[in-house]
Structure 1
């Protein structure tokens, strides 16, 4: 079944007859490691916002699939995507580009190498800003004009005024409450439509495990799904940090379990990533009970 067939008619038209032609089927999307939303409304709302030229902010725990979600949206709109990975070292050059020395016919010249923001604007494609709240608060205001109705920026390195081509859109992702992150200021947050991305569970998680790992034994797969459910519940109850329930880590454990015992796979992929002994013991006890 085509993924877009699951969407309301007026929304699927935004993809199939909109700025980009959609070509990815639901089966292909899963097989290629695409994001399978736990609620089709997540996809509907994201497509709606992007098709109307709005920016979206994917908000959720680590390992919930935010980057996969962004890649899937890019695939559905059948266009490439430039990426920015935020950190405290992010600066104007990382966003916009930099000058360097080059040679033209044996003559040395100064050449400007475009960065992800300028590239995505000039090509009219998506820009993905990962972990946007890891950047220093004084850095991101550089692109405020890119994120609002103006869709323009003055390149401080070349003085060129850049206006985004049709098709340009911004998808950002945020993990709240982690070490090194800072709260987004209201001026920046107000430039986004916020979409909460929860963990995937149940049958959808089973599809992802079958499509993206080497684990094909159904009974073992069901045990990992139960483990994931127990971990997510423990996170909601405040017994574990969100890292413990990362779907990314669970998929690693599923892969390893095809060659080493599942409990050891869980130890390497999940338990040893945790900092608190109390949390490590909690997860090990769950693994002992299930496996």
Structure 2
């Protein structure tokens, strides 16, 4: 493995608690190099799952956080000017395809559609990436796999994947785990007691029931880990929940009062 790709190898196992058969299914899709799409709400463990699988398969992982300003050149590469003249620099997608990494495009629908079109030749039988500016055609390395994630519930009709893109991928659905599993995750990640973790999960479940009724998004597992981490350092649970759970997800005074009341119920 060369130095370019070695930096993307995950050395330490990222903790991931399987919820169903997603680990086995992903291993099967990697075996046939099927492009994969992970669908689910923000902060439910999609990124951690990809990190865990890359570690388990012992493959480098190149992650790209997609945004609306991202261009095709940001993904595939561009010519740069330095003291020696002009040189080509591969983008993250080109590095992954050339050297055999898993390339993870996080929240892919945030990118413009004219940008995401560049992934199409990599997601069918061709498995190629054209570098049009350079006049090169990269034949994807046998170990290369493309993984994308997005949150279907958050996207508007203007911001959704085209069918021509979706149908190139296999898909795994993710959601927040059930109470016992989520409690186990929060306990493991933060060091708080099972009792405290269970209370945090109960607060999140209350908030998730309000999604679409005043809240755009529920409280995620990631946010519970933030709250638990604060409590583990000695922060008062009410203050920890205010900072990590309630204030980030809403500015509406009535909704904040309702969530603060839920915190008071459990703590």
TM-score band, normalised by the shorter chain? 0.7 to 0.9
* SS of residue paired to 1:251: helix
- Say whether residues 1:38 and 2:27 are aligned partners: no
User: For residues 92 and 207 of structure 1, what CA distance do their matches in structure 2 show?
Assistant: 41
Query: Alpha carbons of 1:240 and 1:60: their partners in 2 closer, same or farther (altered >3 Å)?
Result: farther
User: For residues 240 and 82 of structure 2, what CA distance do their matches in structure 1 show?
Assistant: 50
Deviation for aligned residue 1:239? 3.6
- Normalised TM-score (structure 2): 0.87
Q: State whether residues 201 and 228 of structure 1, in contact with CA within 8 Å, keep that contact through their aligned partners in structure 2.
A: no
- Say whether residues 1:156 and 2:132 are aligned partners: yes
User: For residues 149 and 275 of structure 1, what CA distance do their matches in structure 2 show?
Assistant: 48
Runs of 4+ residues deviating >6 angstroms: none
1:86-123 CA distances to partner (integer Å, 9 max, x unpaired)?
111110221011211245xxxx2311111111100111
User: For residues 90 and 52 of structure 2, what CA distance do their matches in structure 1 show?
Assistant: 25
Q: Calculate the aligned-residue CA RMSD, in Å.
A: 2.1
What are structure 1's unaligned runs of at least 5 residues? Answer: 1-23
Q: State whether residues 46 and 149 of structure 2, in contact with CA within 8 Å, keep that contact through their aligned partners in structure 1.
A: yes
* SS of residue paired to 1:84: strand
- Say whether residues 1:218 and 2:194 are aligned partners: yes
Counterpart of 2:165 in structure 1 is: 188
Counterpart of 1:90 in structure 2 is: 70
Match of 1:142 among 95, 118, 136: 118
- Normalised TM-score (structure 1): 0.81
User: For residues 84 and 128 of structure 1, what CA distance do their matches in structure 2 show?
Assistant: 6
User: For residues 238 and 200 of structure 2, what CA distance do their matches in structure 1 show?
Assistant: 11
User: For residues 77 and 180 of structure 2, what CA distance do their matches in structure 1 show?
Assistant: 44
Q: Report how many residues are paired.
A: 254
User: For residues 187 and 86 of structure 1, what CA distance do their matches in structure 2 show?
Assistant: 19
- Say whether residues 1:260 and 2:235 are aligned partners: yes
1:213-268 CA distances to partner (integer Å, 9 max, x unpaired)?
142x3332232232233333444xx4453633211111111111232211111110
What are structure 2's unaligned runs of at least 5 residues? Answer: 1-9
* SS of residue paired to 2:81: strand
1:111-136 CA distances to partner (integer Å, 9 max, x unpaired)?
11111111001111100000011111
